[in-house]
Amino acid sequence: MCKCCRTPPARGGLPPGRPCRPRAPPPSPRAYAIAAHSAGKNLLFVFGGVDASNAILTDLWQLSNADGTGGTPTWTNLTIAGAAPSPKRTQMSGVYDESDDVLVFFGGINCGESSCTQMSDTYAVTDLLVTPTWQPLSPSGTRPPGRFLHSSVYDPARREMIIFGGNDTTAKVGSGASNLDDAWVLTNATGVGGTPAWRELVPPATARPGARMGHAAVLDADHGRMIVFGGTDTGNHVMSDTWILAGLDSGAPRWLGYETGTPRLSDRASPVAAYAGGAVNRMIVAFGEEGGNARANDTWVLHHANGLPTTPISRITIAAASTTVCVSNSVQLTATAADAAGTEVVGVVFVWVSSDTTVATVDGDGTVMAVAGGTVTITVTDEGGTISDSITITTTETSSSEPDGGTGLDCTCYCGWPANQVCQHNSDCPPDESVPGTSVPGVCGCPITPGC
């Protein structure tokens, strides 16, 4: 992933840093709005959101000459005919089908004096380019549970909307403990090609991204792959991991952890994201919440976003910060792929497997967590399972509870964030300011709380 510092102007376009200045007054300030773009008409639509007082907005706006070409960008407040969804809601998801000229919404939240209601209904605004009109949709099949702060992506060729994650709490003060990790498909989503129908996707449970809300998602429709980044987990921690839901075009979906390497953007919740497909194959991520009330205004690009290598892989090699780890601690493994000439191949999804999960587990990015004393073989393969490498990890029980190391067994302290991986009270380990991933051989006898 690389950071965008400067973007050269397109031929005939606006120079870097020059904003579009619409002629008419813009919509009022808001957050959590839904945006839709008509490339053929050069229009941007913006619907709803919440204002500074958290009042829910239900207005629809159109920006003509949206990209700054063809004339001065101009905002117009549009009227939506028909009965609007009741009650009002925000933090729903929305997708736009330019061919059908239909904007489809799912879910959202409405809070009263003491509690909140999560919506599980599906609505559309039809004929955005002519006469915008509310249209309730009545999909067949079991509908997804109500939720907010979920993601949705859209495959226009299949007329399918795919939603993932979100939160279904009814409490006024929300919690990540109510996050969801399910994925659903709405076929015939616009209602134009037939009756819409909900269907839950059930990927294998061997690897999953975990329940989350406020993440970003984009779709590589050509290869049937949804790329998910960041969000907030069940412990209310903001994340920066990347996952791919592959096989959406095959009927056999599965989650794949995608280690995108360095540099990488900071932990991020509620960012905005877009996908440039085809040979470009890039995911653009911008803005968002970094945690601790911090907001970001940077922009990053993930190259090789769909995790499909463009060069055949001949071998995979594992590197380890250490091959010995204390129980209840973790060690990071990394994998590198190369072609027949030995040149590194980037943009590869690696699949990690532990030979004995009662001794140690391994997650989608190669982090090994020691569960009990023993030895375990960790294997990594390419997505197709044809190229692999393995490594043996020894997990060691600590034998001392002395806070200064005592006479514990000789193993490796894995230093850096998070704190439970640091022997903060062990003289053999540096303080927590050490570079994450630093491994320091020495006595790891101090207890897991507060040390290693």
Query: Among the three residues 302, 323, 344, which one is the final residue of a domain in this structure?
Result: 302
Query: Among the three residues 252, 274, 302, which one is the final residue of a domain in this structure?
Result: 302
Residue 310 lies in a domain: no
| Whether residues 10 and 155 fall in one domain | yes
Residue 451 lies in a domain: no
Residue 432 lies in a domain: yes
Specify the number of domains making up the chain. Answer: 2
Half-sphere exposure at residue 371, Cβ-oriented, CA atoms within 13 angstroms: 10
| Whether residues 226 and 327 fall in one domain | no
Domain of residue 92: give its range.
Answer: 2-302
| Whether residues 41 and 175 fall in one domain | yes
Structure confidence at residue 436 (pLDDT): 41
Has residue 150 got a pLDDT over 80? yes
| Whether residues 92 and 131 fall in one domain | yes
pLDDT tens-digit series, residues 311-363? 999 999 999 988 988 888 889 899 999 999 999 998 999 999 999 999 999 98
Return d(Cα 243, Cα 257) in angstroms, integer: 5
The alpha carbon of 304 is separated from its chain's Cα centroid by a whole number of angstroms, namely 16
pLDDT average, residue stretch 206-211: 89
pLDDT tens-digit series, residues 216-241? 999 999 999 999 999 999 988 999 99
Q: Which of 136-145, 194-203, 381-390, 414-423 has the lowest mean pLDDT?
A: 414-423
Has residue 431 got a pLDDT over 50? no
Return d(Cα 16, Cα 299) in angstroms, integer: 14
Give residue 105's identity as a one-letter amino acid code: F
| Whether residues 353 and 292 fall in one domain | no
Has residue 248 got a pLDDT over 70? yes
Residue 452 lies in a domain: no
pLDDT tens-digit series, residues 9-53? 343 344 444 455 556 689 999 999 999 999 999 999 999 999 999
Instruction: Decide which of 8 and 169 is more confident.
Output: 169
Structure confidence at residue 424 (pLDDT): 37
Structure confidence at residue 419 (pLDDT): 36
Closest CA to 242 of 353, 386, 349, 109: 349
Return d(Cα 303, Cα 298) in angstroms, integer: 16
Has residue 63 got a pLDDT over 90? yes
Return d(Cα 357, Cα 362) in angstroms, integer: 8
Q: Residue 98 belongs to a domain with what CATH number?
A: 2.120.10.80
Q: Residue 394 belongs to a domain with what CATH number?
A: 2.60.40.1080
